[in-house]
Amino acid sequence: MQAKLMALLQQQRTTEAKALCAKLCKANPKNAQLQFLMSAICGQLGEFDKSEYFCKRAIKINPNVPEAWYNLAVAQLNLGKNTAAIDNLKTALNLKPAFPEALTDLGNAYQRIGKHADAANFYQRAIQLKPDFSPAYCNLAEAQFALRDISAAENSLKTSIELNPRLSKARLSFGKILLEKGEKLLALEQFDAALSLEPDNVEHLNRIAEVLKDENQLADAESYYQKAISLAPDNAKLLSNYGLILVQLQKTDEAIALLTQATTLDPTLAEAFYNLATALSAANQQQACETRYLQALALRHEFPEAWMNLGTLRLLQGRLQEARSCFEHALVKRPDYPEAASNLLMALNYDETYSGDEIFERHRHWGTDLAARIPVRDLFPPHPDTNRTGLRIGFVSPDFRTHSVAYFFQSILDQTREDIEIFCYSNILHPDETTHLIRNKVSMWRDITQLSDSAVAELINADCLDALVDLAGHTSGNRLGVFALRPCAVQISYLGYPNTTGLATMDYRITDAIADPEYCGQSYTETLLRMERCFLCYKAKPNIPQPAPLGENNNRPVAFGSFNNLAKLTPSTIELWSSILLGTPGSTLLLKARPLGDSTVADHYREMFQKHGISPERLQLIGWLADAKHYLAYSQIDIALDTYPYNGTTTTCEALWMGRPVVTLAGGLHASRVGASLLSTVGLKNLIAHNPHEYIETAIRVANELHASDHEYHDLRSRMQGSALCDQTDFQKHFFALIEYAVATSATD
């Protein structure tokens, strides 16, 4: 019978062997060898409680067999009984000091209780006894990694793989270390190798999918997640990770269903609620999104990403104080969180309770703090190309896509000067048609989405630019950390942000004398370069519908409107607009912003206007509209109202392009003077107010003027097209002249 048992084991017919061994153990209860064999069989089948039981029986019969103590410890390690396992492994080693497997598992036990240095010592002793012991090298690497000795861990894993290329655990660990070093493609090779050894290993599939997601290979990542979920359909973490991929693939409904399932499977998994909030945000379910972020934070208060995204959600809803509080929470949890720091600074521009001096000091402090964290050795010396003539200008942006920044940036393209080269450093995760349009018009295109600030700075420095221009400021996706490293001798802020960057390494800021008149005294860390014309040039998207006639239907009350984002709708702005509506009997106000598509947000704004005497029926609140419908919505209004203290820019240009006059209130800061710059350039200075009372009067005056057939606003598109605001040649002449001035000034310093 025992011979048959051994034959079954050799044939790997483990289940049959177990049944036979159980009979033999029952017939021979005092046979230590059979009890030991039964424990080993149970261990192979993953029945560790039974393995422990039979090991104890074998040891009771014969306590002098080190392998029995070892098997007992292995079973206990799998049962989470670490202390007992350590004691039993030490007993095994007392009986057999030259026992590398026991030393390795003793190291494993110490790893589990966080004693990584002790673990490393036991692994090294095992290797001394058995120099070709690949698993010991692999486990040693894990201890070294925990001790942050990355180089040693990498060397141990290389040895482990060299000794046994088929050890999937070593491949997986090596991949993790390569990820830590930012070498994603090499990490992917190791994960692929591990998967080839264990094709149905869910962890390997998940790891590969995560790397592919980070590399923006979303369709490939999706296929790996699908296979992993087919193997583990109830794995909440896996469902959560996959759900986020579906959001990025714009399969929003599918993502919401999957992520809801993940939260049901594991109501304690904060990441699942966070990812579900992200999906709900994409579906513009604002209230449900906020609820899920709050649930994630209730589960894990130390969750900076959730605080940051909740703040962004509230900022876009115009809840400024709540948004700032969220960003501050995120920074408490993670002080070196650049996105949260920039969002906090961005929020200040909307807030009328902060003075210009306070906003400047916040930005300057951010810049000083960032500079203090950069070692001098990390700064890049200027790297001019003395063999080249002409001008090479680099632009850094996350908005080379269908975005308001792109509408203005395209005016820099199509330039006819052969001595100018334009390099674009793109931080876009999801390129679109506009991305490809821009890419085809520049001298060099660099995708920097997967590169660290240091790597981007090194790339820029090697490109030997004459000037480097930031188009984002503190808006989402910015790479101001690159500019802090000084990869170029001349660094300039332009277009995308209405305030200082706060960086001492940002040399200049391009503006004009209306947006930044000398008498306003707004503070910048940059030196201002003022264009002799408007600092902007608008290039409208092709195929925009023709404007609807203005003021022809005198039988209906005037309709005001604003398509600005809700963060710009401050309490003062709402009060001003309410006064305008009260001063024009029967008039209505149309507001269009993505969050207004959520009824909860829309109701909040109806209540805010109602406090100033404006009944809900005088308001029309609409959410996001696709391109053509967005522009056609201007036909529903007669006059566009600009926001204060943060004026519109693209919205003002679009309103004028669609034939609607815009009334603006000019203040003392750049953010509140862009409207004045745009309207002055188009020859509509009579629409610029300089105090709240004048703003109300101007809007009411224009409303009355529209009832006269000879009003001056009949063909605003033609007027705009004929102005400097759309004169690309004139704009480029002045823009490049300023760049040349900055470069020449730097060369003589």
Query: 470 forms bridges with which residues in the sheet?
Result: 396, 493
pLDDT value at 10 more than 80 = no
pLDDT value at 2 more than 90 = no
Encode pLDDT of 56-77 as tens digits. Answer: 988 999 999 999 899 889 999 9
Same domain for 56 and 174: yes
Q: Is residue 18 part of a domain?
A: no
Q: Is residue 738 part of a domain?
A: no
- Integer Cα distance of 743 and 525 in angstroms: 18
Encode pLDDT of 74-125 as tens digits. Answer: 999 999 999 999 999 999 999 999 999 999 999 999 999 999 999 999 999 9
Same domain for 578 and 689: yes
Average pLDDT over the chain, rounded to an integer: 92
Same domain for 47 and 182: yes
Integer CA distances (angstroms), 650 to 363, 502, 641, in order: 24, 24, 13
Same domain for 218 and 302: no
Confidence of residue 749 (pLDDT cuts 50, 70, 90): low
Task: Find the distance separating the first CA and the last CA of the chain, reported in whole Å.
Answer: 95
Number of domains in the chain: 4
Q: What is the pLDDT of residue 5?
A: 67
Q: What is the pLDDT of residue 730?
A: 96
Encode pLDDT of 239-248 as tens digits. Answer: 999 999 999 9
Q: Is residue 568 part of a domain?
A: yes
Q: Is residue 101 part of a domain?
A: yes
Same domain for 290 and 222: no
Q: What is the pLDDT of residue 385?
A: 64
Confidence of residue 1 (pLDDT cuts 50, 70, 90): low
Q: Is residue 546 part of a domain?
A: no
Q: Residue 82, class by beta-carbon neighbours within 10 Å (0-12 exposed, 13-18 middle, 19+ buried)?
A: middle
Give the three-class secondary structure for 622.
Answer: strand
Q: Where are the alpha helices (DSSP H) in 202-235?
A: 202-214, 218-231
Encode pLDDT of 230-241 as tens digits. Answer: 999 999 999 999
Q: Is residue 735 part of a domain?
A: no
Any idea what the CATH number is for the domain that residue 439 is in? 3.40.50.11380
- Integer Cα distance of 217 and 665 in angstroms: 46
Same domain for 192 and 100: yes
Of 531, 549, 581, which closes a domain? 531
Contact 510, 735 (CB under 8 A): yes
Confidence of residue 658 (pLDDT cuts 50, 70, 90): very high
Q: What is the pLDDT of residue 384?
A: 62
pLDDT value at 275 more than 80 = yes
Q: Is residue 209 part of a domain?
A: yes
List Cβ neighbours of 442 (8 Å cut-off, separation of 6 or more).
413, 422, 423, 424
**Axis crossing angle, helix 134-146 with helix 116-129, rounded to the nearest 10:** 160
Confidence of residue 339 (pLDDT cuts 50, 70, 90): very high
pTM (two decimals):
0.84
Confidence of residue 630 (pLDDT cuts 50, 70, 90): very high
Encode pLDDT of 417-454 as tens digits. Answer: 889 999 999 999 889 999 999 999 999 999 999 889 99
pLDDT value at 340 more than 90 = yes
Same domain for 227 and 155: yes
Residue 319: count other Cβ atoms within 10 Å of its Cβ: 19
What is the residue whose two structure tokens read 């002055």?
Answer: 680
Which of 211, 207, 161, 208 minimizes the C-alpha distance to 182? Answer: 211
- Integer Cα distance of 457 and 373 in angstroms: 16
Any idea what the CATH number is for the domain that residue 324 is in? 1.25.40.10
Same domain for 409 and 361: no
Encode pLDDT of 468-526 as tens digits. Answer: 999 999 999 999 999 999 999 999 999 999 999 999 999 999 999 999 999 888 999 99
Same domain for 305 and 440: no
> Domain span at residue 287?
263-372
Residue positions counted in the chain: 749
Give the distance from CA 669 to its chain's centroid. 29
pLDDT value at 709 more than 90 = no
